Structures are given as structure tokens and as C-alpha cells.
Structure 1
């Protein structure tokens, strides 16, 4: 596992270096879920593919930007699913963006998830690695990732990062979100999941949500590349997750590697309040 972490660090460093002078224009192509690809989406995907393909412990790679899995070594143990550049549509306004990695054992299913990692390309290059606990690392002047601290979710937070166009929310979700604001929660939503989740984790609590909407009835965020790795990290940090009905996003199963789902990540207080609000008759 540590060897895979080292290869991911190399890929993240390469992407960070390329981001210093990026091409922010769009391709004519779209990925599997219909997003128009930035040229840098493709570049980031190529960097990760080329770097991780050299790791003998990786069985296959699954990318948000590729239609199918890439088989590397049938005899190997681990499958790495990744979003090469989360929040890439915000590159033109210079917001913090990142890369997300999920490491599955034998099979790409939530119950087989063994580790999750994300990088955040902001004023500092930071990396969060979660195996048994959630560890934050920061790049130093010697190009080494140095341990900073463990990230732990408190029982209750004050940050509310809620996605989806509000006019497409259902009444139940709109009422729940209003209740959080009435309780004094602060809106903190950039449109980049990595950035918004990083703030909640570093601040020790809050809620990130992307509900089912009228135009995205199955949610918008992708289970294998975004939802499962951040659910793993959130729960290992002491928080909770749900799709609005269940007690953990990690209980979900999908056959389609590009499946999406409504998703909620937060402190225990916010997720318990969500479940109460969503299940009221």
C-alpha cells in the first residue's frame, strides 16, 4: 500500500508543477458522464495513468475521464479509481482544486475500499492520506510531504457547503438547509468538492451535501471517484455520511463505474439532523 502512496505522490507533484502554467481551454470532447473536458483534465489523467502504470501492485486504473477500466496487472491486488482534477471548471478563476484517489482491494466496491487520498492545489500543496486515520501532509521546500496533523471531525460543526441549483431542490431538502442557516451555519461552497471537504475536515466539522435534484435525480457526484473516497475519509475522521436514507454511503453498491448518487458528509449532529428531516412524514 505504501508503494502506491509513493506513486500517487509523484503524480500529484507532476500535476502541481504543470498547474503553474496551465492551458485552461476546453477540448471538444466530453467524459463518460457528459462533462466537457478541459485540456488540463486530459493532461492530469495522462500524468496519473503514466505514473501509476509503473506500480506493480496496481491491478487496474479507473478514471473519471475514461469510459472503461485500464487493466495493468491481473495478478496484482489493488484497483485505483481517481478523479484526476476535481473542480477543474474553476481553473479560470484560480480557485483551489484537487485530485481524488480511492484504493480498492480485488474489486471496485465500497466494502473493498482500503485507503483514500486527495490532494489540494492551493496556496500550498497539501495531501490527505487515509488508511486507518486521516493524516494531513504539506509539501516543504525540499519537495517532501511532511506530516502536519490528524484531521478529526467534532460532534457538530458550523459550515454548510451545499451543492445543486437551489430551484431544483425538493421541498424537504430546502427546508433542512434553511434550518441549518437559521441555526447559525455559515455558507462555504466553492463548487470544488476537494476544496469544500478540505475546509470542513480542517475546521473539524460541518456539512457537505449534493442532493438529488429535479434535473439530477440520482445526484451528480460519482460514487467510485468522489463519493466513496470522501465517505471513507469522513467516517475515519469520526464523522458520518448518508445518501439521505441510509446510515453510510459505504453501504451502497453499484455495477456501473460511472454511477452517481445523492450524498451527504458531515459531523454526526448534521447527518443525524438530515436523516430526521428526510424521514419525517
Structure 2
């Protein structure tokens, strides 16, 4: 088993554990905030603890960087893989029983976009699903947990040139005029609104339905967006671009053009089929 395969096996195990905990865990808040100022849910902290404990068992993991940790947790100095993850994306929606998930970016040696070598996310919904993208240039693969407790391969995922779904976030009163015009144009072209408030679920739906757009733009109150580059944005950028789609911050040709200056850095972000991203550039330029 390769080192990456060891990491994927660990992610499968923690996904099963977190999926079970979601069904019965305390949904209350802690008295603490994470590094970006969000009050931590007890389930966020529990999920982070489950992931940390599992990865501590792997000698191939150099360090862990989590949305719920202020600083990196160094594990094995001479190893090469750094795991940056969001332990439970969309956790504030668990109380209304929406699908949520975990997101993992696997970096080699250092935390910069060019060193992201694999990405994985899990979906905790009516079924437990996992999407693994194990190398640049390969299509992401969908797996589903079967009755025997094993993840079974379902299919490879590929985006169409143009989609039909539009998932756009942030408070609308903070949108720029160009974003308002862009989103209006998508609806005029027949795109349907699909937005839950859980990034992982909305991006999963667009990916499985063949295309569309997910966006979290710059706003007047959050000019740098709210989604975290290392934990959320880059792992999905890796998956979307490998699936034949495109990404942007609104001012660049790819989210991989971002320069990392701090661990909990955020950015505006756009993910989608090539048609939608090209249309965005017309309005934003």
C-alpha cells in the first residue's frame, strides 16, 4: 500500500465514524471560536478530534492543518504529506438534517497550490459517499458505502461544457453590481437556483449533475470572501479542474494562481463548467 493509499484508507475510516457520530452527537455550540472567528460547534470539534487521532497513527503524515486548529499540528518531521482539512463543512445545517461533509487537501512538503497532489471529500447524506482525486490530470472517482461496510467504486466524474445549476452564496445586499448582473444573466439563460449553504453539498450536486456554477463572491463586508483557501477552496479546485471544469477568484484564470500568505487565508471563489466561468470573466473584466 502506497503512502497516499494509507491516507485514503484513513479518510474512509474517519468518514464512517463521523457519519455515525452525526446521527447522535450533541448539536450545541462550544464556548470557543476558531481562527476565523466562527463559534465552534461541539460536532466540529468532535469531528476534528476523530480525524486528528486517526492521522496520528500514520507515519507518512508530516503535519495537520485544520479549520478548527489555530496552528499546524506537526507529527512526523521527516515525512512529506501535509493534510489540510475542514472536518465538517456545513455543520450548522446538521440540526435541520441537510447533507454535510468533510474536505481534505493533501499537500506534498509545503502548503502552496502547486504542491496539492490529491483531494478528497465525503458527503454525509442519505448515503455516505466519497470523492477521491488521486493525481493531477485524472478524473475524480465517486465511491459509495455499501452494506458490507466497504466503499464501492461507482463512476468517474466529468463536467459538461455547460451546466444548468446556479449555487451562489454570500448576503445579496453585499454583492457588487457586476456580480448582480452576472447572476441575473445566468437565470435569464435558464439556470436553476440550487443553494443549501453547505459548500461541499452544493459542489457535489453540480459535479454529479454534470455542470453549472458555484460562487462565493467578494462582498462589501467580506472583500476577501469567507471560504478558506487551503481547507476548502483548493481541494475543490483540484477536483473541478480535473473533472474538466474551471475555477477563478474573479480576477485570475485559476484558483491555483493564488499566493498563500497565511494558514487561514480566505478568497472569493468560482467553480463550474467552462461556459459559466468564461461568462463570469466577461462580466468581471
TM-score by length of 2: 0.97
Find the counterpart in structure 2 of residue 140 from structure 1.
146
2: CA distance, partners of 1:76 / 1:6: 18
Report 1:55-70 matches (<5 A). Answer: 55-70=58-73
Measured after TM superposition, the shift of residue 195 of structure 1 is 0.3
1:198 matches 2:204: yes
User: What is the root-mean-square deviation in Å for CA atoms of aligned residues?
Assistant: 0.6
- Indicate the SS of the match to 1:254: coil
1:175 matches 2:188: no
Measured after TM superposition, the shift of residue 138 of structure 1 is 0.1
Which of 256, 268, 272 is the aligned partner of 1:266? 272
Which of 125, 129, 133 is the aligned partner of 2:132? 129
Measured after TM superposition, the shift of residue 255 of structure 1 is 2.0
Report 1:92-171 matches (<5 A). Answer: 92-131=95-134, 132-171=138-177
Which of 53, 67, 77 is the aligned partner of 1:50? 53
- Indicate the SS of the match to 2:250: coil
Find the counterpart in structure 2 of residue 25 from structure 1.
28
2: CA distance, partners of 1:179 / 1:238: 23
- Indicate the SS of the match to 2:132: strand
1:219 matches 2:225: yes
2: CA distance, partners of 1:156 / 1:168: 27
- Indicate the SS of the match to 2:267: coil
- Indicate the SS of the match to 2:49: helix
Query: Runs (4+) of structure 1 moved beyond 6 Å?
Result: none
- Tell me the matched-pair count: 279
1:88 matches 2:95: no
Find the counterpart in structure 1 of residue 245 from structure 2.
239
Which of 10, 23, 32 is the aligned partner of 1:7? 10
